[in-house]
Amino acid sequence: MDDKGISKAVIKRLPRYYRYLGDLMNNGVERISSSDLSKKMRVTASQIRQDLNNFGGFGQQGYGYNVRYLHTEISKILGLEEEHPMIIVGAGNLGQALANYVEFDKMGFRLVGIFDINPVLEGIGVRGIEIKMISDLPFFLKENNVEIATLTLPKNKAAEMAELLVNNGVKAIWNFAHLDLNVPEDVIVENVHLSESLMTLSYNLSKYKQEHSQDHE
């Protein structure tokens, strides 16, 4: 797999292509023209052609794109052809919600453990996996191959936990705690900052209201 020629901007758009192609596959569509895909995705056909040309230019005049082929190629680039064993640290509402997303499993993010500090939660099963105590985590990480830790602990406990995870060999953190984790450069962090997303929404809403009220002045 060589994606050195693919720009960051394209990479960023790949999950969306992957989703649309997956939907098409589920609907039994075998091929699609760039103009039809363009209408569905609301981007220009030339953008689509440029982006997908990175995958060998399999779009042909009069044939269009082979949906399954493209889906597979993008899946390879995104690392979805391999399994990524994952744990969830923080079995509160959000942690349990994420544990119940069967979709993630289907994409290769195989949930292998759920941990919390609250002894009340110990042994409770979430999708067939018993919640373990965080004190068991170092041993668990030693005995099991875990690539990704989903961090859904409160902010005040997250920094310490990230350190523990990294010290025990976790290579990637999917961070929902609302702080910037301080980890070594070779550890991958992907943040989901929900309150920042809400603030963006609120900003756009305020801006809209402001412009709208000006219209009526």
Query: What is the rounded distance in angstroms from the CA atom of residue 158 to the CA atom of residue 183?
Result: 12
Q: What are the Cα distances from residue 104, in Å, to 51, 99, 179, 189?
A: 25, 9, 24, 18
Q: According to CB under 8 A, which one of 9, 57, 82, 128 is a site residue for a copy of itself?
A: 82
Q: CA 28, CA 36: separation in Å to the nearest integer?
A: 15
Contact between 49 and a copy of itself by CB under 8 A: the answer reads no
What binding mask, one character per residue, do residues 143-162 give for a copy of itself by CB under 8 A, x or -? ----xx--------------
Number of residues that bind a copy of itself (CB under 8 A): 59
Phi, psi of 131 (to 5 degrees): -65, 130
Shorter beta-carbon distance to a copy of itself: residue 59 or 90? 90
Interface with a copy of itself, residue 89, by CB under 8 A: no
Residues in contact with a copy of itself by the rule CB under 8 A: 1, 3, 11-12, 14-16, 18-19, 41-42, 77-80, 82, 84, 92-94, 96-98, 100-101, 103-104, 107-109, 147-148, 171-172, 174, 178-180, 186, 188, 190, 192-208, 210
